[in-house]
A = this chain, B = another copy of it.
């Protein structure tokens, strides 16, 4: 791609074409800054993969030029890739206080905290990085301390919204900085990159405060304790539940590692107001008056080892759900998690709990992302020359582009691009340039190792049809079989006709070896391949299955 000094290039590396793993690089001459470093959870086809991050080949190739990573907020799809990416690319990380606190936690776990420079920024303030001047603009979202970025470059101003909604009555009193957007819009914005997540929703996303009446009603009328689950990063929601607890005369217990961690972090920063004496320790839950208790638990997505999952099957050290307890799922049911979540809630129903999981009786959850009218408002305020939808699957980017088109406020062009398609901005305008390497990298969270595609392909094969390992020992001098063929199988044969098929498979091997000539017998690779082919034919005929077949020849 071009390295021309007079051009600015935006290089999307993640989040354009998928939901999650958000990352975008901006390059001017020899200076690169990276916005966000997210991860996403793997689809179920990615067997044994713990998480997925963007392919950063482009950044590694330009290692010397990368000046910093700038974080918009602390959600996993914006900071979850940090631990992996900083191992390859040790650059300073900029973010607001709460965002950095969450990032710190992860870097600590990965042993990277010492080696990483963390630079705290304040909404409304500016940072200079080479040719870039970045203003951090306060926006509202489902977590706290979120910012959009205005990046001033020699070619013009870029606005990157991060994730946002326009909450006119934010719980923490920190409003969406409409004026900053208006100011840049007045001055003239080269390009707007804006969040597309909720583009399918008409109207305005309700304020976070909208959940209060129904949650308060449920907590007030609950005959026994309330177990409420929300995302552990939803500090606004947690704040409101604490205040509800106070109003209805209940105490509150925090349960689950991420819930406890985040509450601690937010509280230590004065981002969460917890009245004295309102907290009950987890170990005291059992003995506390069940009518005066709210348990705030993480695990709203029914993650296998999470508190809520364990509570549901009566496998939690401190919390049970019993008859007439109230269970409130105050979170989105993320597509793909629905089966697990409903399985979990079914356990609660079986225990005769009162279970609330949707907005049918009153709002118990609102989204943190802008709906169409808010997206239009941002487009109207910024009225950019170029508009590039970000953060969404292709149809969402497409519909966001269509929305902008309908509005008619983009003076130049609406650019619908996906990961790896850079846009070059010059004085003359914007154009797509040659794609860079981009894609998804599968990671094992234990070893932090990349899991290669061939390994996942093998696992998929193994998982569907199992494996057959035919083994023979051959005398390396005479080429004679020195043992009975051995057949090992897994994940494949039904036990009732397994022995018969294995016996037949032994005969196949013997025949294959017998029918090979002397030359073939001394070339193990030929013999192996012949065994593989014959075995495959035999097994497919006997069972109509296609297990992985891995012949082994031992030289004795």
* Interface set of A (CB-CB < 8 Å, partner B): 17, 43-44, 47-48, 200, 202, 335-336, 338-339, 342, 345-346, 349-350, 355, 358, 360, 393-395, 398, 444, 446-447, 449-452, 454-456, 458-467, 469, 471-473, 482-484, 486, 488, 490-495, 543-545, 548, 550, 552, 554-556
Contact = CB atoms under 8 A, between A and B. Distances in A.
Nearest to A45: B44
Contacts of A444: 545
A444 B455 CA distance: 25
A202 B473 contact: no
Nearest to A454: B495
Given A338-B335, A393-B342, A398-B349, A545 B446 contact: yes
A412 to B, nearest CB: 20
Given A47-B463, A458-B491, A473-B554, 19 more contacts: A44-B44, A200-B358, A200-B360, A336-B338, A346-B395, A349-B394, A349-B398, A449-B494, A454-B495, A458-B490, A467-B467, A469-B469, A469-B550, A471-B554, A473-B482, A482-B556, A483-B554, A486-B554, A488-B550
24 contacts: A17-B346, A47-B464, A48-B464, A335-B339, A345-B395, A346-B394, A446-B545, A449-B494, A451-B494, A452-B494, A458-B490, A459-B464, A460-B463, A461-B491, A462-B462, A462-B463, A469-B488, A469-B550, A472-B554, A473-B473, A473-B556, A486-B552, A490-B548, A554-B554
Copy number in the complex reads 2
B490 A550 contact: yes
Contacts of A339: 43, 335-336
Given A338-B335, A395-B346, A490 B471 contact: no
Given A483-B554, A544-B446, A459 B491 contact: yes
A458 B492 CA distance: 9
Contacts of A452: 494-495
Contacts of A458: 466, 490-491
Contacts of A338: 335-336
A450 to B, nearest CB: 7
Contacts of A545: 444, 446-447
B349 A463 contact: no
A44 B465 CA distance: 15
A28 B483 CA distance: 61
B459 A462 contact: yes
Contacts of A449: 494
A488 B552 contact: yes
Interface centre among A456, A472, A554 (most CB of B within 10 A): A554
A341 to B, nearest CB: 10
Contacts of A471: 471, 552, 554
A460 B350 CA distance: 28
9 nearest A-B pairs in the assembled complex, by CB-CB distance: A463-B463, A459-B491, A48-B464, A346-B394, A462-B462, A446-B544, A47-B463, A458-B491, A44-B44
B544 A447 contact: yes
Interface centre among A350, A395, A486 (most CB of B within 10 A): A395
Contact of A393 (B48, B336, B346, B398): B346
Nearest to A544: B446
A464 to B, nearest CB: 4
B491 A455 contact: yes
Nearest to A338: B335
Contacts of A450: 494
Nearest to A447: B544
A462 B47 CA distance: 9
A116 B107 CA distance: 66
A120 to B, nearest CB: 34
Contacts of A393: 342, 346
A524 to B, nearest CB: 11
A186 B464 CA distance: 54
Contacts of A543: 447
A350 B460 CA distance: 28
Given A458-B490, A466-B455, A494-B455, A556 B483 contact: yes
A543 B448 CA distance: 10
A356 to B, nearest CB: 11
A475 to B, nearest CB: 8
Contacts of A43: 339
A22 B358 CA distance: 27
A264 to B, nearest CB: 28
A32 B339 CA distance: 34
A388 to B, nearest CB: 16
